[in-house]
Amino acid sequence: MIKCILFFILSIYLFSFEGFSQINYKENSTEKIKQEPELEPENEFPNRKLLSIYIKNTKNILYGNPCMDKVTQRFGYEYVVMPKNASKFHSGFQRNMHNIFVKTALFLRNPFWKIISKKKAKECRQKTGDYMG
């Protein structure tokens, strides 16, 4: 009887080493947890080609704001400002058709991309104080 109890205690002791070996206390002992983590880790999609939305007016898009750039890269698009004499699209109709196809592709990726982008733009605007166009 005593041999069975000793064998049981010894086996529990030996099997507990397997559990201890899986925990790395040095790695997570002083890890800092961010209050508001970033949207995505840096270089999540390093080779991803961004879709372009061509615009004339930069009033409501926070063009050049690093916070908003992260938001747009998260969804896989970027705003491109068109000068008045741009040669890429000769008419507004071509630009609008291109933007419709891009927005359709973004909708198929995430149906709420526009709502989330506007909400994040408002947060970026408040965080950075960027109220100009």
Tell me, what's the pLDDT at 48? Answer: 73
Question: Could you tell me the end-to-end alpha-carbon distance of the chain, in angstroms, rounded to an integer?
Answer: 83
pLDDT digits (tens, 9 = 90+) for 37-60: 565 555 555 667 888 898 888 787
Tell me, what's the pLDDT at 46? Answer: 60
CA dihedral 53, 74, 116, 107 (to 10 degrees): 60
Helix (H) or strand (E) holding 79: strand 77-81
Between 36 and 12, the more confident residue is 12
Name the nearest CA neighbour of 80 among 38, 107, 50: 50
Rounded CA-CA distance 83/93 in Å is 16
pLDDT at 67 over 80: yes
Q: Are the beta carbons of 82 and 54 closer than 8 angstroms?
A: yes
- pLDDT band of 14, cuts 50, 70, 90: low
Rounded CA-CA distance 88/102 in Å is 16
Q: Which residues lie below 8 Å from residue 61, measured CB to CB, with a gap of 6+?
A: 55, 68, 79, 121
Q: What rounded mean pLDDT belongs to the chain? A: 76
Tell me, what's the pLDDT at 70? Answer: 87
pTM of this prediction? 0.60
Q: Which residues lie below 8 Å from residue 107, measured CB to CB, with a gap of 6+?
A: 113
Q: Mean pLDDT check: name the lowest of 18-27, 33-42, 60-69, 94-103.
A: 18-27
pLDDT digits (tens, 9 = 90+) for 102-129: 999 999 988 998 999 989 888 888 888 7
